[in-house]
Structure formats: structure tokens, C-alpha cells
Structure 1
Amino acid sequence: MTRFTRTELEAARDRLVPDVAAAGLRVLFCGINPGLMTAATGHHFARPGNRFWPVLHLSGFTPRLLKPAEQRELLSYGLGITNVVERATARADELTAEEYREGGRLLELKVARLRPGWLAVVGVTAYRAAFGDRTARVGPQERTIGGTRVWVLPNPSGLNAHWTAETMAHEFARLRAAAEA
């Protein structure tokens, strides 16, 4: 993996990272917003220590552990990635409540256009902020967007110590089973 200086990472602030998406996916995973490593590389969940890629594999969504640079391969499995907020920051707490709400509104439009089977938001706090649902918990939600069902997953950031890779993989696998049904 390329090593970036602090200056190079800071230069990636506010940069946009294109979605990995197509119409009719089984699952569209939705991160909070790109981190600076993701923005610098152009690859989703690129920060070392982020457990998204290992958990995706452990849960059975992918037959092997993919690297962030292989993100386009997700499309061949009927999977994709987007974000609630497009703007790259060092930490999610740099985002405003308005950015979350507007991100939720734009995400609804994107989902209505792409019509995935499931929207999987990684991070219950981000989901609550984007959709104004203070009582949401990890798991399937009552909310739908058109015909798309919604599932909230634990945030795979290494900072989320409440969830291990194994417990996250179990929750991701529950979604996989629902998406395959």
C-alpha cells in the first residue's frame, strides 16, 4: 500500500470518491463519508485498520479477501459502495447535521434510481442522522426506499471497538442470507 504524508492526506480533504455502483445490485453498501486515505487512493474503505473488506469476506459476500484497489470486482458479485456524505474528511465528526440530512435525501434519490435489493448503511449513528430515526438499531429496518429494503450494519472502522470482526461478520452474514432469499 502506498504511504502518504500528512500533507498528501490533507490535500485529499473534501475530495469526492466515485461510487462503485450499477442498477439492480443485490446490496448497495453505504459508508458514512470517505476518509482521507480513501480520498487519496480513490478506493473505498482504504484506511488500514478498517475492517470492511475482511468482514465482507468473512461473511461470505466475497469468495476471497479483496483489497480496496479491487473494489470494482464487487459489481460482479452484485454489490456496490456509496456514501451518505460525499465529502472526504479526517473524521466523521467533522460532518454537520445538515450534511447528514442532505446526504440522506440524496441517497434516497440514488437508491430510487439504482433500485438495489438492499441498502446497507454501515454505521447506526450515520443512519440515524441521515434519516432522522433516533431509535434505529443494527439490523433490518422498517423503512424502504421504493422497493429497496434497508439494513443497518455496524461501522467497520477500527475505532468501533464495540464490534469485533467476527461479530460484524455475523451481522453482515445475516444481511447476505436475506439478500439471497
Structure 2
Amino acid sequence: MGSGSSARPSPADLAAAQDQTIPDVIGPGLRVLFCGINPGLWSGATGYHFARPGNRFWPALHRSGFTPRLLRPDEQHELLGLGLGITNVAARTTAKAEQLTADELRAGGRALVDRVERYQPRVLAVLGIGAYRTAFGRPRTTVGPQPEGIGATALWVLPNPSGLNAHYTLDALASEFRALREVVEPG
């Protein structure tokens, strides 16, 4: 796939993207490291996080005030200049997060702890309560700040921005993102 945002993966591109990985958008000194469950097939085919049309990550990020304008997935590296990054609990691309095993999520949680200890973002924001519960063995977790952290990094759980998560409207999702932004950008 090319680097333009208008390139739409073909069915063959999507099929070939199964079980691929894409690079994290990560670096030292991040205010927030957003952590998806795992990349979807659109992300695997394009190389960009939250790339599937209908995914509400980018609109929620903008509406919450984290970004000055609505970024496209192919502009994901602009996040680093804003002190933001993206990673995933599990690296393997799938059509649906439910295709991941509990063992994969737990192993991904351990690898995520290592990544957080290496990069030390101020906050790790996990996007998906079910994945967080499984990956970290916290079955009663709710959305919002978590009592435990990883070293000096605070933990926050946000709803999954996938268009498949009908429990949250875009406005409700942006409100949850905004609550986090107000903690990392007080005043």
C-alpha cells in the first residue's frame, strides 16, 4: 500500500494482512502512550494504526483536545511531536480482537510492561477494557484511572474506539479521552 490516505486496501490486501505486525509510534518522553488491543486488517494492510474507516480513535483524539486538528492514520507520526504515541497489547493483526487468545493477551501484557518500563510514558492508556482485564489479570477493572501503575507510569483504561464497540458514541468516547487529557494537561 502507498502512503496516501486515499488508498483503500483490496480484499486480497486485507487477507494478506492477517497475522502481520506494524511498527509502534513510540519514543521517550511521551505524555500518553495509547495502547490498542491489536491492529486490525486495515492497519496491517496500510501500516497505520486505527486505519479502518469507522474507527473513532482519530476523531475522539481530536474532539478531546489532544490534537489541534483531525489527523488521518497516515499522519500518525505527528503524534510524537505532541507527546503522544501508539502501541498495542498484542502485535498480531486480526479481523476482530476476539480472534486473540487469552494467552496472547497475557503475553502481550507482559511485553507491554517491558515497553512501558523502557520508554516511561507519563500515562499508558489502554483502549479496551476486556483486553486490559485479561492482559493484566484485573477482572473488575472499570474505565478511567487505575489504582496501580507501571513504575512511574500511571495506567488509564479507555473504551475501545472500534466502530464495532456500539456501547460508546463518538461524543461519549471523546468525553472519556478528554477526562484523561485534563489530567495530563491541567489548566
In the superposition, the TM-score normalised over structure 2's length comes to: 0.95
Residues 56-101 of structure 1, C-alpha deviation per residue, up to 9 Å, x if partnerless? 0000000000000000000010000000000001111110010000
Gaps of 5+ in 2: 1-5
RMSD between aligned alpha carbons?
0.7
Aligned to 1:78: 83
Matched, 1:123 2:128: yes
Residues 101-144 of structure 1, C-alpha deviation per residue, up to 9 Å, x if partnerless? 00000000000010000000001001001101000000000110
Whichever residue aligns with residue 72 of structure 1, its letter is H
- 66, 70, 80: which one aligns with 2:71: 66
Q: Give the Cα–Cα distance (whole angstroms) in 1 for the partners of residues 179 and 125 of structure 2.
A: 12
Give the CA deviation at 1:5: 2.0
Aligned to 1:24: 29
SS of match in other structure, 1:43: coil
Gaps of 5+ in 1: none
- 143, 158, 162: which one aligns with 1:157: 162
Q: Give the Cα–Cα distance (whole angstroms) in 1 for the partners of residues 124 and 9 of structure 2.
A: 32
Whichever residue aligns with residue 179 of structure 1, its letter is V
Aligned to 2:18: 13
Residues 38-70 of structure 1, C-alpha deviation per residue, up to 9 Å, x if partnerless? 010000000000000000000000000000000
Matched, 1:52 2:66: no
Give the CA deviation at 1:36: 0.4
Give the CA deviation at 1:165: 0.6
Q: Give the Cα–Cα distance (whole angstroms) in 2 for the partners of residues 19 and 27 of structure 1.
A: 13
Q: Give the Cα–Cα distance (whole angstroms) in 1 for the partners of residues 61 and 121 of structure 2.
A: 18
- 99, 102, 118: which one aligns with 1:97: 102
SS of match in other structure, 1:161: coil
In the superposition, the TM-score normalised over structure 1's length comes to: 0.98
Whichever residue aligns with residue 164 of structure 2, its letter is L
Contact 2:9–2:46 (8 Å) recurs in 1: no
Aligned to 1:171: 176
Aligned to 1:144: 149
Whichever residue aligns with residue 130 of structure 1, its letter is A
Give the CA deviation at 1:6: 1.6
Aligned to 1:2: 7
How many percent of aligned residue pairs carry the same amino acid? 61
Q: Give the Cα–Cα distance (whole angstroms) in 2 for the partners of residues 46 and 129 of structure 1.
A: 24
Aligned to 2:3: none
SS of match in other structure, 1:119: strand
Moved over 6 A (4+): none
Contact 2:35–2:88 (8 Å) recurs in 1: yes
